Amino acid sequence: MPIDLYFNRFSGPVRAVWMTIRQLKLDVNFKPVDLAVGEQLKPEFLALNPLHTVPTLVDDGFALWESRAIMQYLCNRYAPDSTLYPKDPKQRALVDRSLNFDLTLLGQIEAVIFAPVFSGAPPSADTVTALNNSLKNLDQVLIKQNKYLVGDQLTLADLSLLAYWMYLEKSHTDVSAYPNYQRWVAGLQAELPYYDEVNGISQTEWDQEMARYMASVAK
């Protein structure tokens, strides 16, 4: 029985799960959810996920939300020996550490990039400083690595953090001070054959979707 993934392609957490699915070569039924018209608030969706968020996974009646939990579940159930989520306790702990860090980073990106869009006010100096500090720390971690965040193979850590790059790109955030971060992104973009399929959203598409979502919030 195919896995169902309720998704919206403009969501970074969705794209992280989507790249995991492509990396594991899983058979998944993709079910789009239009957030701008409130499809996530329909009773049938709330019955699956009362938090009304995407991504939401349904695997033979088992419903799961939160992107990192979904990614870990897919590896544990369908590819327990995959290096994407290493079995070695220390390596897995490093992947988990990165997943926890990227949750912090996502919150900072939302505070700097998205909150001002909907409030009409510029981000506070404190939120900008917090985001820059996180990007600086990430850049320093990547100095010590070659191609990947953890060890010498692609892991969930890479896919989850990579999914947020589009937020910085589409908002024209200046990342010139973080060359190692830029190198890491460029390397993964070139390596992953599904990168464009998952992340190929034009600036025009992005701007139009943000306008649709802002209009729905205004209502």
Element spanning 208, H or E: helix 203-218
> 11, 67, 98, 134: which one is catalytic?
11
75 plus 94 within the same structural domain: no
In a domain, 210, yes or no: no
Pairing of strands 56-59, 3-7: antiparallel
| pLDDT, greater one: 145 or 161 | 161
Residue 205 lies inside a defined structural domain of this protein: no
What is the model's pLDDT at position 71?
A: 98
Domain of residue 169, CATH code: 1.20.1050.10
β-sheet with 3-7: strand ranges across = 28-32, 3-7, 56-59, 62-65
Burial of 20 (0-12, 13-18, 19+ CB in 10 A): buried
Alpha helices in 120-194 (DSSP H): 125-143, 156-162, 165-170, 179-191
**pLDDT for the residue numbered 115:** 82
Give me the mean pLDDT over the 117-129 stretch.
Answer: 88
pLDDT value of position 1: 66
Is 124 a known active-site residue?
Answer: no
Type of residue at 218: A
pLDDT in tens, 62-118: 999 999 999 999 999 999 999 999 999 999 999 999 999 999 999 999 999 988 877
- Closest of 32, 10, 38 to residue 219, by C-alpha: 38
So what's the pLDDT on residue 213? 85
pLDDT at 145 over 80: no
pLDDT of amino acid 116? 80
> How many Å apart are CA 217 and CA 202, to the nearest integer?
23
CATH at residue 37 = 3.40.30.10
Sign of CA dihedral 20, 22, 24, 29: positive
Chosen domain end from 36, 59, 81:
81
